[in-house]
Amino acid sequence: MVIRVRFPGISIGNSWPDIVNILGNHKPRLYHHIVQWKFPKEGQLKCNTDGARKKYPGESAYGLCFRDKHGDLIYAQAKGIGIAINIEAEARAIQTALSISAKKGFQNLVIEMDSLSLMKMILKTWRVPWEIAEILEYIIREVQQQQVTIKHIYREGNQIADYLANLAIDQTEIQDYENFVELPKIVNRIINMDKA
């Protein structure tokens, strides 16, 4: 019974030797998916967010990057937040992105994050840990008020936010980037590769 549930596409006999033979010759289908940053649609802005930490729990930071439909930088920020767990750093990145979006009057915002667990908490399908309950209340309220779209992206498509967060772990001041030339050179390269 378990085999039929686990391998629904395989016709399995009832005898043990038949089952062993069929499973021994089974070749599962492999799927590949190219992971890269994607441009936002016309009229949208995209903000990639990420959190980082050195140890558990340890010095943590967040990074975020707003880009337009051409992939050009609108604004980026990174900041060390002291001792925190990783999910808190991830949540603080989104909280900050939503605050910046409200202050700057951004419309049609798409926030991408590589934390699937945090996305499920925001969408209310997973339980929220008490350590970030207050932050999540703010995020959920602002996502609804600003009509923000929340999406998951694999780590490979979130490289700028990841790099900025890791760069800021030892920084206590906010690192603001208003234009392309202010960014670290490696971030410039990532942006150019994303746009290629």
Find the domain containing 136 and state its range: 45-195
What's the rounded Cα separation, in Å, for the pair 52 and 2? 40
**Higher model confidence: residue 31 or residue 68?**
68
Q: Is residue 146 part of a domain?
A: yes
Query: Is residue 112 located within the same domain as residue 163?
Result: yes
Binned at pLDDT 50, 70 and 90, residue 33 comes out as: confident
What's the rounded Cα separation, in Å, for the pair 187 and 68? 16
Task: Give buried/exposed letters for 93-120 (b at 16+ CB in 10 A, else e).
Answer: bbbbbbebbeeeebeebbbbbbbeebbe
Tokens 């670290």 found at: 184
Q: Is residue 16 part of a domain?
A: yes
Query: Is residue 22 located within the same domain as residue 99?
Result: no
Domain count for the chain, please give it.
2
Q: Please give the average per-residue pLDDT across 178-191, as a whole number.
A: 94
CA distances from 159 to 23, 62, 189, 191 (A): 40, 13, 11, 9
Take residue 111 and report the two structure tokens written for it.
């926030």
The string of pLDDT tens digits covering residues 78-112 is 999 999 988 999 999 999 999 999 999 999 999 99
The pLDDT of residue 2: 64
Q: Is residue 38 part of a domain?
A: no
Residue among 74, 60, 59, 52 at smallest CA distance from 158: 52
Q: What is the CATH number of the domain that holds 143?
A: 3.30.420.10
Binned at pLDDT 50, 70 and 90, residue 56 comes out as: confident
What's the rounded Cα separation, in Å, for the pair 114 and 112? 7
Q: Is residue 40 part of a domain?
A: no
Q: Give one DSSP letter per residue of 42-104, joined into a string.
A: TT-EEEEEEEEESSTTEEEEEEEEEE-TTS-EEEEEEEEEEEE-HHHHHHHHHHHHHHHHHHH
pTM above 0.85, yes or no: no
Phi-psi label, residue 76: left if phi above 0, alpha if psi -120 to 50, beta otherwise: beta
Query: Is residue 97 located within the same domain as residue 178?
Result: yes
Amino acid residing at 155: R
